[in-house]
């Protein structure tokens, strides 16, 4: 087969080996950024007189013609197109003639692909960040809309203490803040330009790399050509960011799946985000949430896969690195569905406040009961033990703590007085947690403001 590097080969590549080697099916989506990189490269070559001005003009004009074909889906891929870079150079040369062959002067696909990938990552990061902002807004909207609704919080999936539902919604907001911060940090790493590193030793032409970086919107140029052609940190970090984000979304999904069961009945998912069963007519399954939970596992796998690939490499470029794009592209595609779908689920679900209220057992106020004794001067450890006795007594008599008679309380401690029953109010228990970051209405209102401030500051 004819290809761009065949000069030293006596025989062609085995067809299966050719297919095995080719990456066009995966890296074609780099076409636009590849052309963008080539336009900047042509300008840099002209700046240092490797290309004459007129040659540069023809090359750039040709590249725009190729770009137009790419954007209108009219680019005809050929069986000899090994990857996106060779395909575009092949087409450029068809359009402008042998002059196209001058474009690759001083450049290697090694610095080219690393630059393309970083350029692409910067675009992907901006898109994912926007989806995240919208999802965060949906969570804050829910928190505002559901203000005042109380439910039990759970630890170990056992009822623990009453909380505001808004507080629970916001507990999924802050992990996304950290995710977005991570995304901004990794954006800086993707903003270092490898172009000008050549195959691995640098380029012999006096290319102005700072000019290239400015042309392509990068903030820095890579400081070491050997590192530059093998550096895939930004890709690995993108996968780590995605894996952790997916874990956060999985946790939210699991919470919603649980709360939408008939056993809990706290929320009802909209028909639009559920599916039925082919056999059981009554079923309304939370498939979208299950898929998010499931895909989070797949994304973790892709991170592990890329790290394992990188781990095996010696210095500079090795073909193993071609394995870098598929996991990143697939993960990006997943996120571009996961995030808007999750937003839709949140916006459309119904909350059943009555079920949440009815489900709460007064025993979740046992800590408040201990605090009642603490207010009377009883050391907390002792108060904990005394309330523990009350819990046991109530359980033996098949009562809840609010039903246990005063006499019974007083057999445990004379510190329990008539007003003890005032403790058994979920609202009071919630409002008492007025520490910063706590669940009282005031603290949660402040939290909502902070959340909105974060969104506006991004
Ligand atoms: N398709 C290759 C990749 O994605 C481009 C770089 C090829 N470089 C090379 N020396 N064969 O990694």
Of 338, 358, 378, the domain-final residue = 358
pLDDT at 125: 98
| Residue 442, CA atoms < 13 Å, CB-side half-sphere | 7
**Quick one: which of 329, 313, 305 has its CA closest to 230?**
313
Q: For ligand 1, say whether the CB of 230 is within 6 Å of any of its atoms.
A: no
In this structure, the residue with its CA closest to atom 7 of ligand 1 is 109
Q: 118: which 2 tokens?
A: 């970083």
Q: For ligand 1, say whether the CB of 416 is within 6 Å of any of its atoms.
A: no
Instruction: Tell me what the pLDDT averaged over the chain comes to.
Output: 96
Instruction: With cut-offs at 50, 70 and 90, classify the pLDDT of residue 280.
Output: confident
Mind listing the pLDDT tens digit for each residue in 389-425?
999 999 999 999 999 999 999 999 999 999 999 999 9
Of 63, 80, 105, the domain-final residue = 105
152 and 67 within one domain: no
**Which phi and psi angles does 162 have, rounded to 5°?**
-70, 140
pLDDT at 269: 97
State the distance from the centre of ligand 1 to the C-alpha of 425, rounded, in angstroms: 67
79 and 137 within one domain: no
270 and 131 within one domain: yes
Instruction: With cut-offs at 50, 70 and 90, classify the pLDDT of residue 325.
Output: very high
Please report which residue ranges of 82-172 form alpha helices under DSSP H: 84-96, 109-145, 165-170
Average pLDDT over residues 102-108: 98
pLDDT at 10: 80
Average pLDDT over residues 17-35: 97
292 and 191 within one domain: yes
Note whether residue 10 is domain-resident: yes
317 and 287 within one domain: yes
State the distance from the centre of ligand 1 to the C-alpha of 318, rounded, in angstroms: 8
Q: What's the rounded Cα separation, in Å, for the pair 185 and 364?
A: 41
Boundaries of domain holding 326? 110-207+217-358
Atom of ligand 1 nearest to the CA of 84: 1
Average pLDDT over residues 287-310: 98
Catalytic residues, by residue number, are: 156, 277
279 and 185 within one domain: yes
CB 88 within 8 A of CB 34: yes
Torsion over CA: 242, 247, 248, 254 (sign): positive
Q: What percent of the chain has pLDDT over 90?
A: 95
81 and 178 within one domain: no
Q: For ligand 1, say whether the CB of 317 is within 6 Å of any of its atoms.
A: yes
Average pLDDT over residues 344-356: 98
Mind listing the pLDDT tens digit for each residue in 64-74?
999 999 999 99
CB 185 within 8 A of CB 191: no
**Quick one: which of 344, 169, 339 has its CA closest to 273?**
344
The neighbouring-strand residues paired with 64 are: none
Please report which residue ranges of 217-352 form alpha helices under DSSP H: 225-230, 233-259, 287-311, 325-348
**Which phi and psi angles does 50 have, rounded to 5°?**
-75, -35
In this structure, the residue with its CA closest to atom 4 of ligand 1 is 322
415 and 352 within one domain: no
Q: For ligand 1, say whether the CB of 23 is within 6 Å of any of its atoms.
A: yes
Residue 438: give its domain's CATH number. Answer: 1.10.40.30
Mind listing the pLDDT tens digit for each residue in 209-249?
999 999 999 999 999 999 999 999 999 999 999 999 999 99
State the distance from the centre of ligand 1 to the C-alpha of 83, rounded, in angstroms: 8
By three-state DSSP, how is residue 58 classified? helix
Burial group, residue 8, by CB count within 10 angstroms (0-12, 13-18, 19+): exposed
Average pLDDT over residues 416-441: 97
Q: What's the rounded Cα separation, in Å, for the pair 66 and 73?
A: 10
Q: For ligand 1, say whether the CB of 113 is within 6 Å of any of its atoms.
A: yes
Note whether residue 1 is domain-resident: no
128 and 100 within one domain: no
Note whether residue 430 is domain-resident: yes
416 and 393 within one domain: yes
Of 334, 358, 382, the domain-final residue = 358
pLDDT of 1 > 60? The answer is no
Residue 291: give its domain's CATH number. Answer: 1.20.200.10
CA distances from 245 to 134, 152, 174, 233, 300 (A): 15, 26, 11, 18, 10
Q: How many domains does the chain have?
A: 3
In this structure, the residue with its CA closest to atom 2 of ligand 1 is 322
What's the whole-model pTM score? 0.95
State the distance from the centre of ligand 1 to the C-alpha of 113, rounded, in angstroms: 7
Mind listing the pLDDT tens digit for each residue in 172-191?
999 999 999 999 999 999 99
Note whether residue 212 is domain-resident: no
The neighbouring-strand residues paired with 267 are: 351
Q: What's the rounded Cα separation, in Å, for the pair 446 and 310?
A: 45
201 and 149 within one domain: yes
CB 120 within 8 A of CB 30: yes
260 and 119 within one domain: yes
pLDDT at 2: 58
Please state the ipTM of this predicted complex. Answer: 0.97
| Residue 58, CA atoms < 13 Å, CB-side half-sphere | 16
State the distance from the centre of ligand 1 to the C-alpha of 211, rounded, in angstroms: 25
Q: 259: which 2 tokens?
A: 């709360």
């Amino acid at each position: 087969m004819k290809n761009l590097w065949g000069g030293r080969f006596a025989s062609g590549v085995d067809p299966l080996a050719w297919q095995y080697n080719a990456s066009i099916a995966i890296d074609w989506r780099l076409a636009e950024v590849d052309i963008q990189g080539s336009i900047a490269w042509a300008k840099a070559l002209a700046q240092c007189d490797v290309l004459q001005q007129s040659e540069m003009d023809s090359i750039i004009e040709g590249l725009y013609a190729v770009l137009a074909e790419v954007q209108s889906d009219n680019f005809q891929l050929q069986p000899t197109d090994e990857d996106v870079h060779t395909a575009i150079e092949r087409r450029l040369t068809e359009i402008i003639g042998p002059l196209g062959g001058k474009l690759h002067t001083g450049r290697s696909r090694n610095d080219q692909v690393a630059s393309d990938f970083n350029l692409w990552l910067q675009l992907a990061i901006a898109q994912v960040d926007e989806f995240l902002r919208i999802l965060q807004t949906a969570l804050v909207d829910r928190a505002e809309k559901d203000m005042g609704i109380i439910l039990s919080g759970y630890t170990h999936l056992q009822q623990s203490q009453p909380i505001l539902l808004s507080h629970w919604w916001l507990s999924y907001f802050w992990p996304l803040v950290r995710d977005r911060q991570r995304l901004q940090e990794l954006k800086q790493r993707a903003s270092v330009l490898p172009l000008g590193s050549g195959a691995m030793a640098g380029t012999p032409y006096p290319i102005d790399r700072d000019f290239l970086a400015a042309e392509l919107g990068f903030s820095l140029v890579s400081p070491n050509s050997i590192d530059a052609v093998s550096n895939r940190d930004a890709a690995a970090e993108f996968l780590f960011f995605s894996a952790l984000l997916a874990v956060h979304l999985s946790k939210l999904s699991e919470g919603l799946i649980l709360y939408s069961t008939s056993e809990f009945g706290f929320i009802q998912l909209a028909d639009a985000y559920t599916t039925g069963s082919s056999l059981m007519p009554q079923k309304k399954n939370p498939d979208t949430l299950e898929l998010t939970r499931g895909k989070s596992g797949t994304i973790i796998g892709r991170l592990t896969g890329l790290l394992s690939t990188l781990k095996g490499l010696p210095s500079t470029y090795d073909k193993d690195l071609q394995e870098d794009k598929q996991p990143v592209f697939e993960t990006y595609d997943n996120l571009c569905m996961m995030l808007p779908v999750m937003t839709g689920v949140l916006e459309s679900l119904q909350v059943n406040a009555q079920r949440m209220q009815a489900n709460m057992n007064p025993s979740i106020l046992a800590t408040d009961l201990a605090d009642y004794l603490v207010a009377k001067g009883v050391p907390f450890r002792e108060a904990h033990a005394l309330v523990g006795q009350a819990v046991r007594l109530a359980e033996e008599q098949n009562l809840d703590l609010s039903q246990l008679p005063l006499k019974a309380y007083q057999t445990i401690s004379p510190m329990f007085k008539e007003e003890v029953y005032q403790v058994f109010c979920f609202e009071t228990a919630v409002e008492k947690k007025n520490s910063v970051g706590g669940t009282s209405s005031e603290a949660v209102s402040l939290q909502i403001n902070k959340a909105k401030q974060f969104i506006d500051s991004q």
